[in-house]
Structure 1
Amino acid sequence: MRVFHTSDWHLGQTLHGQERDYEHACFLEWLLRQLKEKQPDVLLIAGDVFDIVNPPVKAQERLYNFIVDAHEQQPQLTIIMIAGNHDSGSRIELPATLMKRLRTHALGRVSWLDDSVLDSDRLLLPLPDSSGAIAGWCLALPFLRPAEVTGLHLGDNYLHGIGRVHEMLIAAAQAKRQPGQALVAISHAHMAGGSVSEDSERSLIIGNAEALPASLFDECVSYVALGHLHKPQRVNGEERLRYSGSPIPLSFSEIGYQHQILDVQLDGERLVSVEPRLIPRAVNLQRLESAPLAEILQQLADLPDVDLLADTQRQPWLEVRVRLDEPQPDLRQQVEKALQGKAVRLVRIAAEYAGRGAQDDRGEDGLVELGQLTPQDLFSRVWRESYGNDADEQTLKDFAVLLQEVQQETEQP
């Protein structure tokens, strides 16, 4: 059995107000070509399909047009996607009945039967191979929100509830599979030891309480297709525990590595190989590192001029970091003047002032850029300004629970 592992598409994402639809379109066209060439049996999308719980119509059209195109091109392909922490579980599942006719399964949340018994049947999906025989079973684990894994019979411990879900689902899968059938898990979670990309990965729970141990996935699971962390990586060096990473760089902190999908080969229950398939970067992200204004202006002057025959949609996104001794009210005007006729698209100017140390989150006018702050950042700032000290760990955890509840309420499509 051959499986393509992808994750964190973040359809509808914007970069400092600039939409990324062209880049996502290029990725999906490339992925269709890969599916046609390699003919995998299964395509996995491990969460954060969309960037926000109420994605723009264009982003939804991208997803559903891709699913239809993939099915028409390869009718025997099985597609499985789960909700991530950026997604609305109910929105992901809303068209599930229609998508099943396209051999596509959409799982947004877990549910419970009486007596706190996990409804495992809806989370266990058969994986047919090219002959139509069931070669394995997929254990689908969408992002587990606290309200879904805690409560009257489950207790109040979030990690304990997550452990219960894994135990029950793996036990159900072992009972259902036949000898020689592989177990493949798909999960959207932050595994302990995973390398986080700054700026673009929304924390699941404050204080790293969400970091899950690899031991949750028993050795009987041949491969674990993970989503949430945008950098491709193994978990604790294990070949079978992998993040495929996002298909495009979602922030300037993701410039330095190649984005990819993973091509997974299984022979019965045995994991044979996991090979990266590198995704061409449709649009580069370019950053001028912090330097005095005079040096920055010279670097801007040295950038390539616009090629009138070139596709402007492929011009790089540019972030400029400037080190200042004092505020420069006309900083943007100076930068934009230096960029006239240059083949780049400016998306951000970040000012760093002498004595502040590392790059802060203020713009060139000295004001905080709200788009760069998470709800947790804003809460911490308000607490510090109100009480003169940092919020303690319990307060941050309480805020995290409230935030999760609000996000769930806003998920309803």
Structure 2
Amino acid sequence: MRFLHTSDWHLGQTLHNFDRCHEHEHFLSWLIDTLATHDVDALLIAGDVFDNANPSAASQKQFYSFLQRAKHRLPHLNIVVIAGNHDSPGRLEAPRPLLEGLDVTVVGHVRRGEDGEIDLDQLMIPLLRRDRTVAAWCLAVPFLRPGDVPRADNAVDPYQAGIALLYQQLLERVRARRASGQAIIALGHCHMLGGEASEESERRIIMGNAEALSDSIFDASVAYAALGHLHKAQRVGKREHIRYCGSPLPMSFTEIDYAHQVLSVDLEGESVSQVSELRVPRSVDLLRIPRNPATVSEVLAALAALESASMTETHRQPYLQVRVRLDGPEPGLRARIEAALEGKHVRLAKIETTFSRRESHDDVRIPAEELDRIQPEEIFKRLYLGKYGAVAPDEQLAAFGQLMLGSADEAGSK
């Protein structure tokens, strides 16, 4: 059997207010072609299908249209989807009766029976060969919240211990059920210990890094662990069979150099015989100019020298992040950058400003007892000096004065 491992689509995501529907549609069309070209038997989607728990009608239509097209193109295809921490479990499972008619399995919740015990069978999905015999068992474990895991008595960390106990119970159950030659695949959405996270676009699951799990939860009987949550494709603990496939699109400019991919996994009996990385073509480029923050004059020169292909279709134009290093406020910066980009076929997504380090000015601290005795302009001057190490220029003081005057007028009118 051959299956494809993918995750973290984040349908409906916007990049600094730019819609990414075109990029997602390009990826989904490529994915269907890839499934057919590589003669794939199963597709495992490891969570974060949508970017938020209340996805738009357009992003939901995009997802369910993909499922319908994929099954029409490959009627034999097993599809298993789990919820990630960005997904609403209930919303993802809502069309489950219809999806079951397409042989699509969606697991959003960890269900419990009337006795309060977890329904383990609901999390054990058989992956079928084309002759309808079972080739493998998929342990489809969605993102787990503290209330989803079994109680682990006397544990130092009940959440982590509960997750480990759940996997232990599942593995015991599936080992008792599987026949000889049937592999065990773990499908999960979680943060593994040592995993490298994206700086900007990955939402922390639980505060305090309590979510980081040990790879020991996957014992030797697990042929492959197909993980979601981290956007960078990576192995866990340098183990070839425990993998994050990563997101198919860069979700922020910090992911500009990631190797976005899906993973093709071949099974031979109970073991993995090969894992292949299939790179996702990038339909829209992300540009950082310059690569490292530079002065305003250097940035404007780099933008003037930027060569861009002529693209009248806005949704195909590259996204641009401009990185500027400043010595102080630059009120007209955006206008100057936009002027330098006149006629360039790019979309200005973000201006990232950093300030040169200056010697600290401890003497600008204002004791609380002084605040009611000094004027707002004096407070502004001291804070400006402390942040920028320079005297506030006249134009800044004038702007501050206008702001204060406008605030006073508004207060007087109420």
TM-score of the two chains, using structure 1 as the length reference: 0.83
Are the equivalent residues in 2 in contact too, given 1:115–1:153 (CA < 8 A)?
no
User: Could you list the per-position Cα deviations for residues 58-96 of structure 1 after superposition, in whole angstroms to 9, with x for gaps in the alignment?
Assistant: 110110000000011111101001000011111111111
Which of 353, 356, 361 is residue 355 of structure 2 equivalent to?
353
Are the equivalent residues in 1 in contact too, given 2:266–2:273 (CA < 8 A)?
yes
Are the equivalent residues in 1 in contact too, given 2:152–2:161 (CA < 8 A)?
no
**Which residue in the other structure is 1:317 paired with?**
319
Write the distance in 1 (CA, Å) between the matches of 2:88 and 2:358: 39
Write the distance in 1 (CA, Å) between the matches of 2:310 and 2:248: 27
User: Could you list the per-position Cα deviations for residues 129-186 of structure 1 after superposition, in whole angstroms to 9, with x for gaps in the alignment?
Assistant: 1222111111001000112226698988211211121111111111111111111110
**Which residue in the other structure is 2:42 paired with?**
42
Quote the offset at 1:274 in angstroms: 0.5
User: Could you list the per-position Cα deviations for residues 312-347 of structure 1 after superposition, in whole angstroms to 9, with x for gaps in the alignment?
Assistant: 322110011111111111111111111110121101
Rg larger for: 2
Alignment of 1:28-67 (within 5 A): 28-67=28-67
**Which residue in the other structure is 1:126 paired with?**
126
Write the distance in 1 (CA, Å) between the matches of 2:256 and 2:115: 48
2:301 is the alignment partner of 1:301? no
Equivalent AA in structure 1 for residue 56 of structure 2: P
Write the distance in 2 (CA, Å) between the matches of 1:6 and 1:49: 10
User: Could you list the per-position Cα deviations for residues 343-392 of structure 1 after superposition, in whole angstroms to 9, with x for gaps in the alignment?
Assistant: 211011121112279xxxxxxxxxxxxxxxxxxxxxxxxxxxxxxxxxxx
Instruction: Quickly say closer, same or farther: Cα 1:355–1:251, change in 2 above 3 A.
Output: same
Q: Secondary structure at the match of 1:23?
A: helix
**Which residue in the other structure is 2:166 paired with?**
165
User: Could you list the per-position Cα deviations for residues 211-253 of structure 1 after superposition, in whole angstroms to 9, with x for gaps in the alignment?
Assistant: 1000101110111100001111110111110110000000111
**Which residue in the other structure is 1:390 paired with?**
none
Write the distance in 1 (CA, Å) between the matches of 2:131 and 2:7: 27
Count how many residue pairs are aligned between Structure 1 and Structure 2. Answer: 356
Equivalent AA in structure 2 for residue 274 of structure 1: V
Alignment of 1:238-387 (within 5 A): 238-288=239-289, 289-305=292-308, 307=310, 311-355=313-357
Write the distance in 2 (CA, Å) between the matches of 1:266 and 1:317: 39
Q: Secondary structure at the match of 1:202?
A: coil
Unaligned 5+ residue runs, structure 1?
Answer: 358-413
RMSD (Å), alpha carbons: 1.8
Write the distance in 2 (CA, Å) between the matches of 1:351 and 1:118: 50
Unaligned 5+ residue runs, structure 2?
Answer: 360-414
**Which residue in the other structure is 2:191 paired with?**
190
Are the equivalent residues in 2 in contact too, given 1:315–1:344 (CA < 8 A)?
yes
Quote the offset at 1:115 in angstroms: 5.2
TM-score of the two chains, using structure 2 as the length reference: 0.83
**Which residue in the other structure is 1:364 paired with?**
none
Identity of aligned residues (%): 48
**Which residue in the other structure is 1:367 paired with?**
none
| RCO comparison, higher one (Cα < 8 Å, 6+) | 1
Equivalent AA in structure 2 for residue 287 of structure 1: R
Q: Secondary structure at the match of 1:60?
A: helix
Instruction: Quickly say closer, same or farther: Cα 1:236–1:305, change in 2 above 3 A.
Output: closer
**Which residue in the other structure is 1:232 paired with?**
233
Write the distance in 2 (CA, Å) between the matches of 1:290 and 1:352: 7
Quote the offset at 1:50 in angstroms: 0.3
Are the equivalent residues in 2 in contact too, given 1:118–1:169 (CA < 8 A)?
no
Instruction: Quickly say closer, same or farther: Cα 1:278–1:306, change in 2 above 3 A.
Output: closer
